C-alpha cells in the first residue's frame, strides 16, 4: 500500500501505465498453471491505483485455462471489468512449445493449432463454440471499450441494460459476426450505426 500511495501522491498524471496480467479469478485454474494469486489483495491494490486516477491500467485475461469453463470465464470477465480498467485485453491460451500446459495438453483435453501461434480450439471444459462466443465478445470489446468509443453509452449498457457486462459484449459481438461486419472495414460513424441497429433487436431497451 505504501508504494502505491507514494506513486499516487508523487507521480505526474499519465506518466505510468501498468499492465497487470490477472488472467483468471478462478483459483483452481490459477493453481493448475502454478499461479499463486490472492484475488482479494489484488483487487484491493488495483482499486487503490484506479481510484487515484494517476496511472492508466491495462488488465489482461486469458480464455482457455484448465478448469475454467464458459460460466467461470464469464464470471472472471465480469469481476475484472468491475474494476473499470482503461483497457481490458482478452487473449486466448496458446500452447507454446516447452511450456507445462503443452506437456499436459492431453490431461486437459486440449486441441490446438500445431503450428505457430499454437492457439487452442477447445479443452475438456471449454468447447470450440464457447471459444467462438468469447472471440465475438473480444472483437467488440476492442472496438468499443478499449478504443473508448461512446464511453457513457457503453457504461450505461453494461450496468443498466444487460444482465452482466459480458452479456452485452457477447451478444453484440455475435450479432456483429452474423451481419458480416467482421469481414468489412468500418468508419467511426459505422460504430454508432451498428450499435444502434443491434440495440433495436434487444427487447426492453428504450
Asked if pLDDT for residue 124 goes beyond 70, the answer is yes
Peptide bond before residue 117 is cis, with ω within 30 degrees of 0: yes
What average pLDDT does the segment 155-173 reach? 97
Dist. CA 89–CA 85, nearest whole Å: 10
**pTM, full prediction:** 0.94
At 18-38, the pLDDT tens digits run: 999 999 999 999 999 999 999
Nearest Cα to Cα of residue 140 among 126, 154, 123, 121 = 154
Mean residue pLDDT of the chain comes to 95
Dist. CA 176–CA 157, nearest whole Å: 16
Q: What b/e string do you get for 15-41 counting C-beta neighbours within 10 Å, with b at 16 or more? A: eeebebebbbbbeebbebbeeebebee
Asked if pLDDT for residue 206 goes beyond 70, the answer is no
Nearest Cα to Cα of residue 27 among 57, 59, 65 = 65
What average pLDDT does the segment 164-192 reach? 95
What average pLDDT does the segment 93-102 reach? 94
What average pLDDT does the segment 180-199 reach? 93
Confidence of residue 94 (pLDDT cuts 50, 70, 90): very high
Dist. CA 124–CA 68, nearest whole Å: 10
Amino acid at each position: 500500500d505504501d508504494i502505491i500511495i507514494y506513486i499516487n501522491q508523487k507521480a505526474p498524471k499519465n506518466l505510468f501505465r501498468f499492465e497487470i496480467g490477472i488472467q483468471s479469478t478462478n483459483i483452481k485454474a490459477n493453481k493448475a498453471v502454478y499461479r499463486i494469486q490472492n484475488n482479494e489483495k489484488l483487487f484491493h491494490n488495483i482499486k487503490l491505483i484506479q481510484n487515484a486516477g494517476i496511472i492508466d491500467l491495462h488488465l489482461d485475461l486469458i480464455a482457455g485455462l484448465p478448469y475454467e469453463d464458459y460460466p467461470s470465464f464469464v464470471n472472471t470477465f465480469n469481476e475484472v471489468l468491475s474494476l473499470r480498467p482503461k483497457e481490458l485485453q482478452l487473449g486466448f491460451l496458446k500452447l507454446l512449445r516447452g511450456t507445462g500446459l503443452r506437456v499436459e495438453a492431453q490431461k486437459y483435453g486440449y486441441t490446438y493449432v500445431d503450428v505457430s501461434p499454437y492457439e487452442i480450439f477447445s479443452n475438456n471444459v471449454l468447447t470450440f463454440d464457447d471459444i467462438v462466443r468469447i472471440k465475438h465478445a473480444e472483437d467488440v470489446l476492442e472496438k468499443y471499450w478499449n478504443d473508448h468509443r461512446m464511453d457513457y453509452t457503453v457504461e450505461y449498457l453494461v450496468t443498466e441494460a444487460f444482465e452482466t457486462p459480458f452479456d452485452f459484449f457477447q451478444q453484440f459481438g455475435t450479432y456483429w459476426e452474423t451481419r458480416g461486419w467482421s469481414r468489412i472495414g468500418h468508419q467511426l460513424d459505422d460504430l454508432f450505426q451498428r450499435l444502434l441497429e443491434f440495440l433495436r433487436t434487444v427487447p426492453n431497451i428504450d
